[in-house]
Structure 1
Amino acid sequence: MNKSLMLAAAGLLLATGAALAQPSEIRIGVALEPPALDPTAGAAEAIDVVVYQNVFEGLTSIDRTGAVQPGLASEWTISEDGLTYSFTLRDGVTFHDGTGFDAEDVKFTFERLLAEDSVNAQKPLYEPIAAVTVIDPLQVEFTLSRPDGLFLFNLGRGDAVIVAPESAANNASEPIGTGPFAFVQWDRGSRVVLEQYGPYWGEKPALTRATYRFISDTATMTNALLAGDIDGTNNFAPEALAVFEGNAQFKILVGSTEGETILATNNRKEPFTELKVRQAMAHALDRAEIIEGATYGYGVPIGTHFAPHHPYYLDLTGTYPHDEEKARALLAEAGHPDGFAATLKLPPVAYARLSGQIIASQFARVGIRLELINMEWAQWLEDVFANKDFDLTIIAHVEPFDIGIYADPDYYFGYDNPEVQALNETLNATTDEAERKRLAQQIETIIAHDAVNGYLFELPQTGVWNARLEGMWQDAPIEGVVLRDIHWVD
């Protein structure tokens, strides 16, 4: 073989090798830029999208099904009275600045979280913690003031990730955690870059680098995907998904989130204090039409306030099937044969505005005349959520396992049921999974039959990804785009 042929063959081999080599980087488009990068000091979901389980980790970890798994704690025991949790910590863990992780960091984290000047968005969830005691560097004990059946789950939230006293003050701009990826840079208005952390204590992820690009405009996101400038996005606008359907270069992952979308009803205000009126409204709702119009068919119907992907979920969508004749009959029995007029206050999100228009049309057919009032977020938060000045509204409740709001008669929709309050108190004090499931499903059933709110759909998660990527979460049982399982395939 002459020299030129040898060089050509070598070049072909190099090119073939490059083509076969698996990429180890990913570029992810996200709609919102986080205001900061410390999930323990901010409420924005956009923070967790970048750093949760990537840069920061908790004592426990929430998996893709919503189940609690070991995290920085390898195991734990719970006292018989449910008031003492003893955790064994993993050995050999380091923060990304090289400092060691031990029980003192756990104690620091929760004392900071519970401090009087704490800005943690979920501080009330951790108020049952009466004391955190260091037993030795790898043993830490939590003493609770009362049993808390969600304690292990709450330890796995982004709000409770472990931070170090040496770096906590700067985590908003230069986050330092123990996770599989370390923070590299934040080009504000453009991107955040993470790289695989070499001394990571756990299994190494396949990815070596991840770039989160901030793209708020749907058309720009579409073009970036089609041009190959980004490799995927975790939640793409449903109305534009048709662009990628049938395109072999992409895969669409449709799952559900923790966002229960409801026609929230002011239960303390006439005529909504009457069960038959609320039942009539439930029968007047056509979920299929609402889901098609507001989520382009991607929402998951719900019949109670619980996420369909959760193992405790009961399908109660058949409790009040769409039946306009039954709705009119119930209104007449309740003393409203000609229906009634009400206001529907709508926050500035597409799912609410679109659902509102459809529901107004559906209700009109049974005699309920709705005046649609569009509001900005600040006005909605003040008038509806804080001052409870509303008849009806549409909102997605995105907090995980938030059925406890039905046990608070002062909550904005004003439901006051002593049976639910007692069940929820027992649920909160129960740690046995089978018993927790039974109690939660009892509450689900009661609020469905009481038609406390109009249960519409679970907000969908509609991801668009390069077809060669695997390991992304289809559902979103907790906020975040978890990178550890994502990898490229042939």
Structure 2
Amino acid sequence: MVSSTTAAAAPRRGWRWAALFATLALLVGCVAQPPASTPQPTHTLVVGATLEPPTMNPTASPAASIPQVLLYNVYETLVKMNAEGKLVPLLAQTWDISKDRTVYTFKLNPAAKFASGKPVTAQAVVTSFDRIKTEPSISAPLVEQMAVVKSTEAVDDTTVKVTLSRPSNLWLYDISSTAGIVYDPDGLATLDTEPAGSGPFRLQKWNKGQSVVLAANTGYWGTPPRLDTVTFRYLDANAMNAAMLSGDIDVVSNLQAPDAIDQFSDTSRFTVIEGTTTSEVVLALNNARGSLKDVRVRRAISMAIDKKALLDNVWNGKGTLIGSMAVPTDPWYEDLTSINAYNLDKAKQLLADAKANNLSLKLRVPTTAYATKSAQFVESSLRQIGVKVTVEELDFATWLSDVHNGGNYDMSIVAHAEARDLRRFTDPTYYFHYDNPEYNKEFEAADAAPADQLVPLMRKAVRTLADDAAAVWLFALPNLVITKNTVTGVPQNAATLSFDLTTIVHR
């Protein structure tokens, strides 16, 4: 028999055990629940740039503003040129060259895929290379670079064989740039507005006249980018500097007002990067027009311009005087500034010998800072030898269509940004309209020569251009980049047309 006291205590003990179990269950439940995830910070970058791409199709226009945004970022090539100017694997893991240097065999990375999710196959490479040779709308410089290709063959899904009609020292470098882009064959119809690439970024939005926005390709086959979105904003030189000082942009991709560089001397806020580029600032001469057909007139124009004074006045002394179509990062570069150097008296005598009296020339330039500033200096210089120059400034789209494509000019000024672009002078239909069979032979001999003969033979060709005053080389643009001090990974030298985002980090 249970006493009343014991009977009363039993339910109280049961209640205490029930409460204890409930508390333990609550604690266990709390432990079992995963902690709330912490939102990851978004890594964005805003890059100030000068010229907006006229199209998103790299094969439709020679404008350097297209690969600046898209090359290596949205589009990829079999091989890539790094910041040191060396070729490294990209879509191709390896490549072999035959003993006679005419057959290239590329082994594709089997992991490579387009942004659409489809694999990058050997047939995609064949389609991309062949369309440059067959489609009439392809930009002429790309057609020239691929003219040496005899055939492209898909050996299997990941092996491509390219056969050249002759050896070419420059071809492998050419396909590290726009000519070598591999496109998703299913996206070819809409390339003007919708890129079809395999790169670490994809086009998110093109705000025409204002910006291009790239977003990380979340399905990228290689090392993921360390930026989530990148915006290229298009600004004139003064607006870009103001935006950088106010913190509205993170990077000035290439300072267009070098005399303003001291504004960014505060190292607690900014990092100033100074290096070299592949861009020759060229006073182009229309070799097929009037008095400019005469080499004496072309030499006189060169001799009338004090290039050192121009560089000091126009670009704050930043940059390199070159003398011909080669820059210091080219293996065959040598200082040729002594050829057709500044000499007003000799310039006047050459014009008199050519009977080029009362010469009047139209100088049509794009509205970029280096071109418009240089144009005023050139006009003043040529006035000293009796040459009247009328300067006309054009928006870049008009310059491309009317000057570059239409050849409607006497003189122009533009930075030729593509690396190792001596081939331009072998094409008499190109806007220089330079036609010298001797130069063509020298260039082709250098390109086809054994590797150990390339440099001396190419130097010979480069000197011929200088002697013949095929153009007037004002200076090579420096690479002047300003970043916030929270941005790292921007290379010192611009060895390609790409503003390569793959190495950049924004903390």
Common topology (TM > 0.5) = yes
Cα deviation, 1:207-227, whole Å, max 9, x if unaligned, reads: 131321423244443343233
Residue 388 of structure 2 aligns with which residue? 370
Of 406-415 and 84-93, the range deviating more from structure 2: 406-415
Where structure 1 has 5 or more consecutive residues not aligned to the other structure, the ranges are 1-17
Tell me which of 439, 455, 467 is aligned to 2:485.
467
SS of 1:132's equivalent in the other structure is strand
Cα deviation, 1:342-399, whole Å, max 9, x if unaligned, reads: 324222434333323322333343x333232425368766776567665544343333
Tell me which of 319, 324, 331 is aligned to 1:311.
331
How far did 1:61 drift?
1.0
Residue 125 of structure 1 aligns with which residue? 145
Please give the TM-score of this superposition, normalised by the length of structure 1. 0.82
Residue 480 of structure 1 aligns with which residue? 498
Structure 1 pair 55/265, CA: closer, same or farther in 2 (3 Å)? closer
Residue 452 of structure 1 aligns with which residue? 470
CA contact (8 A) 1:149 1:428 kept: yes
How far did 1:26 drift?
2.5
Q: Which structure is larger by alpha-carbon Rg, 1 or 2?
A: 2
CA contact (8 A) 2:372 2:393 kept: no
Tell me which of 21, 26, 29 is aligned to 2:48.
29
Tell me which of 381, 397, 417 is aligned to 2:416.
397
Matched-pair identity in %: 30
Structure 1 pair 149/172, CA: closer, same or farther in 2 (3 Å)? same
Tell me which of 36, 43, 63 is aligned to 2:82.
63
CA contact (8 A) 2:111 2:221 kept: no
Matches within 5 A, 1:74-113: 74-113=93-132
CA contact (8 A) 2:487 2:504 kept: yes
* Distance in 2 of aligned mates of 1:412 and 1:118: 17
Kindly indicate whether residue 284 of structure 2 is the aligned counterpart of residue 264 of structure 1.
Answer: yes
CA contact (8 A) 1:73 1:88 kept: yes
AA partner of residue 136 (structure 1): D
Tell me which of 134, 139, 143 is aligned to 2:159.
139
* Distance in 2 of aligned mates of 1:47 and 1:411: 20
Matches within 5 A, 1:332-351: 334=353, 340-349=358-367, 350-351=369-370
Residue 221 of structure 2 aligns with which residue? 200
CA contact (8 A) 1:22 1:488 kept: no
Number of aligned residue pairs: 464
* Distance in 2 of aligned mates of 1:40 and 1:412: 18
Where structure 2 has 5 or more consecutive residues not aligned to the other structure, the ranges are 1-37
CA contact (8 A) 2:45 2:229 kept: yes
Residue 180 of structure 1 aligns with which residue? 200
AA partner of residue 500 (structure 2): V
Please give the TM-score of this superposition, normalised by the length of structure 2. 0.79
CA contact (8 A) 1:30 1:212 kept: no
How far did 1:243 drift?
6.1
Of 56-65 and 295-304, the range deviating more from structure 2: 295-304
SS of 1:39's equivalent in the other structure is coil
How far did 1:95 drift?
2.3
* Distance in 2 of aligned mates of 1:454 and 1:107: 39
Cα deviation, 1:307-355, whole Å, max 9, x if unaligned, reads: 23323221111334433344455556x366x965332422243433332
Of 151-160 and 292-301, the range deviating more from structure 2: 292-301
AA partner of residue 130 (structure 1): K
* Distance in 2 of aligned mates of 1:315 and 1:27: 37
SS of 1:111's equivalent in the other structure is helix
Residue 229 of structure 1 aligns with which residue? 248
* Distance in 1 of aligned mates of 2:492 and 2:150: 37
CA contact (8 A) 2:204 2:214 kept: yes
How far did 1:450 drift?
2.8
* Distance in 2 of aligned mates of 1:39 and 1:381: 15
Tell me which of 309, 313, 319 is aligned to 1:289.
309
CA contact (8 A) 1:346 1:353 kept: no
Structure 1 pair 289/23, CA: closer, same or farther in 2 (3 Å)? farther
CA contact (8 A) 1:40 1:160 kept: no
Tell me which of 70, 77, 97 is aligned to 1:51.
70
Residue 72 of structure 1 aligns with which residue? 91
AA partner of residue 352 (structure 1): A
CA contact (8 A) 1:347 1:374 kept: yes
